[in-house]
Amino acid sequence: MNLDELYQEVILDHYKHPRGAGLREPYEGESHQVNPTCGDEITLRVHVDGDKVADVSYENVGCSISKASASVLYELVSGATVDDALARLAEFTELMNSKGQGEGDEETLEDAVAFAGVSKYPMRVKCALLGWMAFKDALVRAEAASTSGRTDA
């Protein structure tokens, strides 16, 4: 097994220096996700402003792959439009499910293409996706909150 392929410099850098970490206000949606096989956890908040993901904030415990993945997620979707963020989510999920076949588009996925190697390790794909699952869930909650807010108004 080629360790360098899995633990790319980019991944280790995000792991050691996570971007955007910590829970912040305001937020409309929050999600807590657990990986039951290893006990890794993430709490992630989404702040939506108009059609933009104004902020993604998170607190997590986990392995290098899951922590680096959350950091990369923050860089990719924070400040992006909701549509773009959902497109990145779809792209990253596809890359993780590619069983080592996908390379990822560096134009759109940026640092996240470093996770291509992870897709060869089925036991680690869940680690890489944990933060993204939390993002997806938090976004749904944020949208539900804003919809119900409008109904109430």
Partner 1 sequence: MEAVTKLDVEAVRADFPILKRMIGDRQLAYLDSAATSQKPVQVVDAMRRFTDHSNANISRSVHTLGAEATEAYEGARARVAAFIGAPSADEVVFTKNSTEAINLLAYAFQNAALDPHADPRLRLAPGDEIVVTEMEHHANLIPWQQLAQRTGAVLKWIGITDHGRLDLESVPDVITERTKLVSFTHVANLLGTVNPTSQITARAREVGALVGLDASQSVPHIPVDVAGLGVDFIAFTGHKMLGPTGIGVLWAKADLLDAMPPFLTGGSMIKTVTMEKTTFADAPAKFEAGTPPIAEAVGLAAAVDYLDALGMENVRAHEKELAGYMLERLETVDGLAVIGPRVPIGRSATVSFTLEGVHPHDVGQVLDSEAVAVRVGHHCAKPTCDRFGVNATTRASAYVYNTHEEIDRLVDALGKVRKVFT
What are the distances in angstroms from CA 109 to CA 41, 78, 142? 24, 13, 24
CB 151: neighbour CB atoms within 10 A?
7
Within 93-122, which residues bind partner 1 (CB under 8 A)? 121
| 12 near partner 1, judged by CB under 8 A | yes
* Shortest spacing between CB 2 and partner 1, in angstroms: 8
Tokens of 77: 């979707």
Sketch the per residue contact string, 21 through 40, with partner 1: x for CB under 8 A, - otherwise: ----------------xxxx
Among 10, 54, 63, 87, binds partner 1 (CB under 8 A): 63
Of residues 27 and 58, the one with the C-beta less far from partner 1: 58
Strands 29-35 and 52-61: unpaired
Strand order, beta sheet including 40-49: 29-35, 40-49, 52-61
Q: Are 17 and 106 in contact (CB under 8 A)?
A: no
Among 18, 54, 64, 120, binds partner 1 (CB under 8 A): 64
The residue ranges that bind partner 1 (CB under 8 A) are 1, 3, 6-7, 12, 37-41, 61-65, 67, 121, 124, 127
